[in-house]
């Protein structure tokens, strides 16, 4: 399943939960959270394409250093 589809499903579930709880703040958080996660995913996708195009790779041991 595509990542964007999963983000949409998680957003819908959070929004349904906020609706059943009748919590307007939770609905706003679900909307803002989904938007932020979607934008971060888009940035990550474009950055990965850019790095692949230029032949830049990061080994796993460098990622695990953090």
Q: Are 14 and 26 in contact (CB under 8 A)?
A: yes
- 59 torsion bin: left (phi>0), alpha (psi -120 to 50), beta (else): beta
Give 14-61 pLDDT, tens digit per residue: 999 999 999 999 999 999 999 999 999 999 999 999 999 999 988 888
Q: Is the pLDDT of residue 66 over 80?
A: no
């Amino acid at each position: 399943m595509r990542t964007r589809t999963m983000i949409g499903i998680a957003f819908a579930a959070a929004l349904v939960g906020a609706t059943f709880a009748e919590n307007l703040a939770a609905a706003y958080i679900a909307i803002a959270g989904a938007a932020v996660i979607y934008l971060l995913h888009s940035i990550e996708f474009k950055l990965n394409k850019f790095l692949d195009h230029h032949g830049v790779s990061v080994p796993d041991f460098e990622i695990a250093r953090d």
